[in-house]
Structures are given as C-alpha cells and as structure tokens.
C-alpha cells in the first residue's frame, strides 16, 4: 500500500503552532514527572484527541501528580475524586440546593465541572456511580434533576485503578472499558530516575512543584479542532481497519476491538502527527499508540486467559503481521 502526503502553507503553520505548544507542554511537565517521556507524550496525544485515559498502576507512582501538573501547565481547572464504595452519582455530578436569598433552587456543581478530572480508583465505586462518570465522559454533559448541563471544554478524565484484584472493588465492564481512549501504566522509576527525583526535591527545598502555564483551555480546544486539518490517506485508513478487524478474527478472542477503536486510532494518529509538526499521518503514528488503544478492548476466551495470553499479546502479533503502507512524498 502506498500513501501520499498533503497540506497547504496555512495548514502547516497551524500544525507548527500545535507542535510548539504540545512540545512546550511535555517539556514543562517533564520537569516534574521524571523519566516518563513516553507516558507524557501519550497523555498529550489523549488531551489533543479529547479522549479519556485509564491508568492502571500501583499506589504512589505519581498518577495524581501527573494529572495535576498537566492541568496547571494547560491552565485548566483540576479536580480529584477518590472513588469509594459509598460514593453517589450526586457526589460527582452536583446537586440542586435551595437558595433562601434568591428563593430558588441553584446548582451546586460537583467535581465533574472541571477540565481535567482525576477519578482515583474508579473500580472502588459502585456501578451506578461509574455509569454516571462514563456518561459524562462520553457525552461531555450531565443531567441533574432532569436538566442537562454542558461540561467545561476541554473535559478530560484520567481514571486510575489498582491492577491487583482486591476486596471491595467493582471491575469495569468491557462495554465501559471501551469508552476509554487509552489504557496505560506509569510503572516504577529505575534507579537513576528515582535518584533524580530525590536530587530535584533537594534542589527545590520544598515539597511543592512550580509549574509554568504553557497554554489555556481556549487554546486547547482550538488545537483539538486544528487536528481536522491533518491529512489521513486512504492507505492509512485501510491499515487502521485491517489492524482492528484482525482482533475480531483471532481464535483466542471472544470480543474483538469495536469500531470505536478504529476511530480512536484515527484521532490519535492525527494528534501524534501534529505533535511531531506534520500535517499528514504516517504508519508510525498509528503503531506508536495502538497497544494502548486496542489491548484493553479485547475480551479473551477463558482458556487463553489461563495460558496467560493478554490483549497486549494479541495486538503485538497483529501489528507485526499487518503490511505497513509506504508513505510517498508528494
């Protein structure tokens, strides 16, 4: 397969601006989050794609710090919700309270009314509360007492869950997992990274981090819209479809990746291209995020699970087998 590049001068200037801001953002966050360049890039891709991300990791691996630092660098409003078994939908959405002075009911907005929401340990909340959050993620709006309220733009959820099966958890159903653009893991720092974390703490002389604001919520929305100008060749579209279709054909799989996975690869491919300053998508843009976008959407047969097969194994195999389209410079 062959793909061609496209774009005019105005598009290239627009994408160059997106690239400069995105790289400035990653550079600023990397001053706080050490040694996780790939994660920072993927979160930036997720924000530009207006998608929600699931971080599956052990406690203490800087997930809250990551979300908060991104929010500060973006100039966005940040909220954190600790999900617990007794958390109600109204606790995250908000509720109407009677205002005696005004003589009417007024909305007291919940933490969902933010730009970057950290939903900590989402698998600890009961299904009803999970459903309320996932509806907000999908629709970018909430309905309280029959009245629909639009959420601020951008609205991005970074949800976390502990990889260890614990008592008192409600695992996310497959249909709800599909609503997350990406699922990723931060992982432990290596020795040199952990030493660098301590060295920077010593240098700062305080626990808090200073973060410079790089952009604004309004500009983030403009950057998300600018991705529409990134060219995606039919050969790249065929490549995306082939990769996703093959997840449904594997004999070890009960349910393959949904069409939402194809759309997610399309969006994140454009975002990855823009970060690198290109106004056209290349196969590496797709391959760079495919594992995080496809793997969590695959439901395996019990016998495959027993043998230790994961969605990651299936996706890696497919990516190694599907012919990669060749990009031709125009």
**b (16+ CB within 10 A) / e for 127-144:** eebbebbbbbbeeeebeb
**Per-residue pLDDT tens digits for 280-321:** 999 999 999 999 999 999 999 999 889 989 899 999 999 999
Q: Could you tell me if residue 40 is inside a domain?
A: yes
Is residue 2 over pLDDT 50?
A: no
How far apart CA 47 and CA 25 sit, in angstroms, is 11
Region 35-64: what's the mean pLDDT? 89
pLDDT of residue 329: 54
Best CA proximity match to 129, nearest among 96, 174, 176, 164: 176
Give the residue, 250 or 176, on which the prediction is more confident.
250
Q: CA-CA distance, 218 to 140, in Å (whole number)?
A: 16
Residue 67 lies in a domain: yes
Letter string b/e over residues 226-258, b meaning 16 or more CB atoms within 10 A of that residue's CB: bbebbbbbebbbebbeebbebbeebeebeebbb
CATH of the domain at 242: 3.40.50.300
CA atoms within 13 A on the CB side of 139: 13
pLDDT at res. 166: 63
Judge whether 299 lies within some domain.
yes
The residue range of the domain holding 155 is 2-325
Length of the chain, please?
330
Q: 50: pLDDT confidence band, cut at 50, 70 and 90?
A: very high
Cis peptide before 154 (omega within 30 of 0): yes
Q: What is the pLDDT of residue 10?
A: 81
Average pLDDT for 268-276 = 95
% of the chain at pLDDT higher than 70: 95
Domain assignment present for 205 = yes
Read off the pLDDT of residues 194-210 as tens digits, 9 standing for 90 and up.
898 888 888 877 777 88
pLDDT tens for each residue of 145-195: 888 889 999 999 999 887 766 666 777 777 778 889 999 988 888 898 889
Count: domains in the chain: 1
Task: For residues 266-273, give the mean pLDDT.
Answer: 96
Query: pLDDT at position 4, please?
Result: 47
Q: Is residue 182 part of a domain?
A: yes
Structural domain includes residue 330: no
- 190 assigned to some structural domain: yes
Residue 143 has pLDDT above 70, yes or no: yes
The string of pLDDT tens digits covering residues 91-140 is 998 888 887 787 788 888 889 999 999 998 888 888 888 888 888 888 89
Q: Does any domain span residue 175?
A: yes
What is the reported pLDDT for 105? 80
């Amino acid at each position: 397969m062959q793909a061609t590049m496209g774009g005019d001068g105005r598009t290239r200037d627009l994408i160059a601006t997106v690239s400069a801001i995105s790289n400035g953002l990653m550079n600023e966050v990397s001053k706080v989050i050490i040694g996780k360049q790939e994660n920072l890039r993927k979160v930036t891709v997720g924000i530009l794609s207006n998608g929600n991300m699931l971080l599956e990791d052990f406690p203490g691996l800087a997930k809250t710090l990551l979300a908060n630092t991104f929010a500060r660098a973006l100039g966005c409003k940040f909220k954190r919700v600790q999900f617990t078994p007794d958390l109600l939908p109204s606790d995250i959405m908000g509720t109407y309270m009677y205002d005696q002075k005004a003589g009417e009911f007024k909305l007291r907005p919940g933490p969902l009314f933010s730009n970057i929401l950290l939903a900590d340990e989402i698998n600890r909340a009961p299904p009803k509360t999970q459903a309320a959050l996932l509806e907000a993620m999908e629709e970018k709006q909430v309905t309280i007492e029959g009245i629909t309220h639009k959420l601020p733009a951008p609205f991005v959820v970074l949800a976390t869950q502990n990889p260890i099966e614990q008592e008192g958890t409600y695992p996310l159903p497959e249909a709800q997992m599909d609503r997350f653009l990406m699922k990723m893991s931060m992982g432990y720092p290596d020795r040199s990274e952990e030493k660098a974390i301590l060295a920077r703490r010593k240098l700062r002389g305080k626990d808090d981090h200073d973060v410079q604001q790089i952009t604004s919520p309004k500009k983030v929305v403009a950057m998300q819209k600018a991705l529409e100008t990134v060219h995606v060749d039919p050969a790249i579209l065929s490549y995306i479809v082939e990769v996703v279709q093959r997840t449904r054909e594997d004999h070890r799989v009960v349910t393959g990746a949904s069409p939402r996975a194809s759309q997610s690869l399309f969006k994140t491919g454009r975002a990855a291209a823009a970060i690198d300053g290109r106004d056209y998508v290349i196969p590496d843009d797709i391959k760079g995020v495919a594992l995080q976008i496809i793997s969590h959407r695959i439901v395996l047969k019990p016998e495959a699970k027993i043998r230790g097969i994961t969605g990651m194994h299936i996706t890696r195999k497919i990516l190694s087998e599907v012919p990669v389209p060749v990009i031709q410079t125009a």
